[in-house]
Amino acid sequence: MKILVTGGAGFIGSHTVVELDKAGFEPVIIDNLYNSNRDVLEGIKQISGKDFPFYEIDCNDSEKIRELFAKERFDGVIHFAAYKAVGESVEKPLNYYENNLISLMVLLRAMAEFNVPNFVFSSSCTVYGQPDAIPVTESTPRKPANSPYGNTKAIGEDIIRDFIYAKPGVKAISLRYFNPIGAHESSLIGELPNGVPSNLVPFITQTAAGLRKSLTVFGSDYDTSDGTCIRDFIHVVDLAKAHVKALELLNSESPDYYDVFNVGTGEGYTVLELINTFEQVNGLKLNYTIGPRREGDIEKIYAQSDKVNNVMKWRAEKTMAEALRDAWNWQLKITAE
Ligand code: WQD
């Protein structure tokens, strides 16, 4: 099966390309390289031993997308390409709504026109906002997103649901990610944040590598065991494998199928527990201070993952410790280059 992977040069996209190939799929990568670079393609090639087709295309470019769909007969699409910086989305909401939603609709229209039956959408646990109860299940009510980025994921899910309901001959799954961390064990691909990382783990690894003076822990007065926020940190390779499972499930489902899955480990850890694990597993001391809360942060969330375990036959296999070891090895490699 030939699968279009949009944003395939990105963090989760590149790891998913590797797992698709391992599972016998035929990935085709498109990426506009806005938030990634071509070196990633080299890393994928070194891991897989293959040169997958790559097109530098922006998913908002309907003409280029239709040309591609006419040229390559796809059996499915995994859509990662989107702007994803929460803080930036608050400053530039129109860029986020335009880029993330227009690109989605361009792809869906092309899938209907060229009879591409399977669609996997990269959604996010941010659709839950601060849940009233944790862990969250797929029926935990969504809450108004606390950022335009999060809102593009919620609206994106609604666009897909309504599109499928119109029976375009497309089936779809939305995967609600929690906090992807880590890197491929080979250290040939990993997370490449642009500029100052807003996410926790790349900031930690850059601090440990001496690229940042110190990590600030945003708040230690939350209602948790040690006062710091709780998250569901999932190894990016486990998350990548969930996309393969989603395609396999779609393949066996009836036409016009649509469903949503939480993709998390089912365990919550605090920021300080993650830091302590990072120090232990890598044998180093991290320079960090406790600072004020970051606006918009939710206190605690982690997944109840029974549905993805039982229906999609996927479960997280790697531990947070393994992810933090892989993240550090990746940082060491890119810092040495
Ligand atoms: C995690 C925790 C921070 C940086 C984001 C996106 C979400 C999803 C996952 C895509 C929080 C704390 C962080 C730092 C810190 N992405 N932190 N110091 O905010 O949970 O979610 O990534 O789907 O959409 O919003 O991730 O890594 O920014 O923060 O203390 O320098 O680490 O307060 O508690 P977040 P994060």
Query: What integer pLDDT is reported at residue 112 of this predicted model?
Result: 97
* Annotation marks residue 149 as catalytic: yes
How far, in Å, is the centroid of ligand 1 from the Cα of 199?
5
pLDDT in tens, 15-60: 999 999 999 999 999 999 998 899 999 999 999 999 999 999 999 9
Query: What integer pLDDT is reported at residue 16 of this predicted model?
Result: 98
- C-alpha to C-alpha distances, 333 to 28, 35, 54, 274, 337, nearest whole angstrom: 27, 20, 25, 21, 7
User: Could you give the CA distance from residue 291 to residue 63 in angstroms, rounded to a whole number?
Assistant: 48
User: Could you give the CA distance from residue 259 to residue 250 in angstroms, rounded to a whole number?
Assistant: 10
Give the residue among 211, 320, 213 at the shortest CA–CA distance from 271. Answer: 320
Query: What integer pLDDT is reported at residue 146 of this predicted model?
Result: 85
Query: What integer pLDDT is reported at residue 337 of this predicted model?
Result: 83
Question: Which residues, listed in sequence order, are joined to residue 260 by a DSSP beta bridge?
Answer: 174
How far, in Å, is the centroid of ligand 1 from the Cα of 180?
10
Which residue is it, tokens 């490699």? 333
* The CATH classification of domain 2-180+234-264+307-316, taken from the options 3.90.79.10, 3.40.50.2300, 3.30.750.24, 3.40.50.720: 3.40.50.720
Residue from 199, 273, 275 whose mutation best tests the ligand 1 pocket (most atoms within 8 A of CB) = 199
H or E segment to which residue 120 belongs? strand 118-124
For the chain, the structural domain boundaries read 2-180+234-264+307-316
How far, in Å, is the centroid of ligand 1 from the Cα of 295?
11
Residues with CB under 6 A from ligand 1: 84, 86, 124, 126, 177, 179, 198-200, 203, 215-218, 229, 231, 271, 294, 297
Query: What integer pLDDT is reported at residue 153 of this predicted model?
Result: 97
Q: Which residue's CA is minimally distant from atom 8 of ligand 1?
A: 179
pLDDT in tens, 153-207: 999 999 999 999 999 999 999 999 999 999 999 999 999 988 899 999 999 999 9
Q: Are 262 and 125 in contact (CB under 8 A)?
A: yes
Query: What integer pLDDT is reported at residue 296 of this predicted model?
Result: 86
Judged by DSSP in three states, 15 sits in helix
How does DSSP assign 34-88, residue by residue? SS--THHHHHHHHHHS----EE---TT-HHHHHHHHHHS--SEEEE--S---HHH
Q: Are 6 and 54 in contact (CB under 8 A)?
A: no
**Token couple for 103:** 């690109």
How far, in Å, is the centroid of ligand 1 from the Cα of 200?
6
Q: Which residues in the chain come in under a pLDDT of 50?
A: none
